[in-house]
Amino acid sequence: MRPVESFPLLPAGPLLVRAQEALSPSSWLLLRDFLSLPNLTAVEKASVAELIGTGRWEEIEERFGTTLSFGTGGIRSRTIARFPTAAERGGADRDDPPRFPAVGSGMLNERTVRRTSLGFGEYLRTASPGHPISVVIAYDTRLFSALFAEICAETFQSLGFVVWLFSEERPTPELSFAIRKLSADAGVMVTASHNPPWDNGLKIYLSDGGQITAEAAEEVSRSIGKISLAAAIPEGPPPGILRRLGADCDQAYFEAIESTILESTAVGKASRAIKVVYTPLHGVGLHTVPRLLARQGISCSLVAGQDTPDGRFPGVASPNPEDPRSLAQAIDQARTERADLVLGTDPDADRLGAAVYAPAVGWRVLTGNQIAALLAFYRCDRIFSPGGKVRIPGTPVLLKTLVTTDLLRSIAEAFGLRCVETLTGFKYLAAKLRRYEEMAEKDPRSRRFLVFGGEESHGSLSTDRVREKDGNAAALQLVEAAGWAADRGMTLLDLLDALYRRFGFFAEELHTLALEGPGGSERRRRLLASFRETPPAGPDGAPPILTEDFGREDHWDADGELLPKEEFLRFSFPPGARLAVRCSGTEPKIKFYLFHRSEAEEDLRAQEGRTQAMISSWWRTLETDVGLRLSR
């Protein structure tokens, strides 16, 4: 295989004229500007030459249709192109990933990562002039994550920062913990969470350990916009300091999670009665979940073929715990081993998926809403039970997002907790914790105590020492809850049924519509505007009795604080149905959340089947409606 340097450079003349004619004006301008950069690498030159020479115009449109922009929590894009060039492959075998990230202003690669890091670094320097700045960096097992983490570290060092870099892959929630523990000014997590293997990204965190706020994100975006794609790190020894994080940080993080254990007897019961099968889905949970469980005397069986760090995620139908297929192989192994509980975390281990066995129904994959309900109830029951041993240092609160099951609200109300709802995204729950911390600093009597925070997309949190959803902690807490249930002769499914009988039968379903590529953003905007102007029908065809527009109306949470504006609509229908429609903040998608609540019947399995059929029929009607709206 010939070396990269031997690939021909970009031809001039007719091919460039052909490119200008074939591409959209905006893509041509970005491509032209890119080609004028003074420090193009051999891989970049050879890749563009191949793409133009072979007429890969759609591929060029995707790579150069935009300059990678900073979103609400960071940047995320493809780092493996749909059609990798020979230069990007760098001699890799057919079945192996490319040796170099995808070239392009809209791709995540060395150039765009460096530009983003420089822009974020300048934002930090401007926000704290004269203040020594420290940044924590972590990365997951995705392709090029380690490379991008090193680029971030080198960039921040060149700015004179103290850089704390994890020595190997670690979870996103451990990054959040480390920021708070080290009193750092910021953090960067290299991950695309549960996205497909060809994606990667940078998540940005501030000094409280929470994701960057919307206001700060706008300032960071402006700062990045001032940095040229040609920007490079100065040669010579960097003025900053690099420090490595390892076992000491792991130990402190584990102890923070273990502080959330409510009943050691329940954990002890789980160690004797609950057999666990766990899959890290080739992600960083491999370094944390088995160790956390082992520290409590709980052994787990790792899923064969999914128990190695591998950013290609081979043998995994989906690296997303929201997708039941992600646990299929783990359930097969659990059947063979006659296990009781299956756990799985996504590549950066901030989300938890689970499946439970019950003799009457077999294996059931739990939804994110069901996991949240089980954890919320267990924690409320143990904390507020007569003779409970947990001291409440403040007013107890339960946090949830507006698109998370209202079963959490019913649980909170039953135990006398304030249930505070936020916009979608764990950054809003973290912002609430930051607000509570500020209130307590001003007046200790106003202190709030987090009992539980959860969202439907398999994220939860039970300690203020981490300001991000934590799949590692959730894994330990769900095993504890399973042990508590087993001590009472129940499985987690039995406990869930008990919740339905007490609070009502809740059912939810999420559907996602991807509108990608050029014009995708405008199509998403028009679709949401269409629903705003002409509301959809409910499951029985009736119009909504209530429409809530979180993008144009003012809405306040249970704390009396005004919610930020978001492109998000919610429709309520009789009896007990609700539909939420919102644009994703991290992906080119529109999401549809369908909810239904009814009084529990004697035969819950039959009720479950009828309700599921009703919601599925409703979605088919909505899907047809969406197609008609998009065709207008």
How many residues are given for the chain? 632
User: How do strand 300-302 and strand 395-401 relate by DSSP bridges?
Assistant: unpaired
Rounded Cα distance between 182 and 185, Å, is 9
Q: Residue 305 in contact with residue 286, Cβ under 8 Å?
A: no
Q: Could you give the count of Cα atoms lying within 13 Å of 233 in the half-sphere of its Cβ?
A: 25
Kindly state the tokens that stand for 419.
């249930």
Q: Residue 354 in contact with residue 344, Cβ under 8 Å?
A: yes
Q: Is 242 helix (H, G, I), strand (E, B) or coil?
A: strand
DSSP alpha helices (H): ranges in 490-588? 492-503, 520-533
Closest CA to 21 of 60, 68, 50, 63: 60
Return the ∠ at Cα 137 (arms to 136 and 143), rounded to 5°: 170
Q: Is 532 helix (H, G, I), strand (E, B) or coil?
A: helix
Angle between helix axes 42-53 and 57-64 (nearest 10 degrees) is 140
Rounded Cα distance between 345 and 286, Å, is 9
Rounded Cα distance between 150 and 199, Å, is 18
User: How do strand 134-139 and strand 162-166 relate by DSSP bridges?
Assistant: parallel
Kindly state the tokens that stand for 14.
């007719």
Closest CA to 451 of 428, 435, 429, 431: 429
Q: Which residue has the tokens 């001291």?
A: 391
Rounded Cα distance between 453 and 366, Å, is 18
| Phi, psi at 363, each rounded to 5° | -85, 135
Catalytic residue (choose from 27, 47, 134, 193)? 193
DSSP 259-314: TT---HHHHHHHHHH--EEEE-TTSGGGGTHHHHHHHTT--EEEPTTSSS--TT-T
Q: Confirm whether 598 is a catalytic residue.
A: no
Closest CA to 495 of 381, 573, 587: 381
Rounded Cα distance between 408 and 419, Å, is 8
Rounded Cα distance between 437 and 444, Å, is 9
> What's the CA dihedral at 441, 443, 446, 449 to 10 degrees?
30
H or E, element range at 397: strand 395-401
Strand order in the sheet with 199-206: 74-78, 199-206, 186-190, 134-139, 162-166, 241-245
Q: Residue 503 in contact with residue 405, Cβ under 8 Å?
A: no
Distances (CA, A) of 447 to 120, 243, 421, 460: 32, 35, 18, 21
List residues bridging with 591 in a β-sheet.
512, 582
> What's the CA dihedral at 307, 375, 461, 325 to 10 degrees?
40
Active site residues: 193
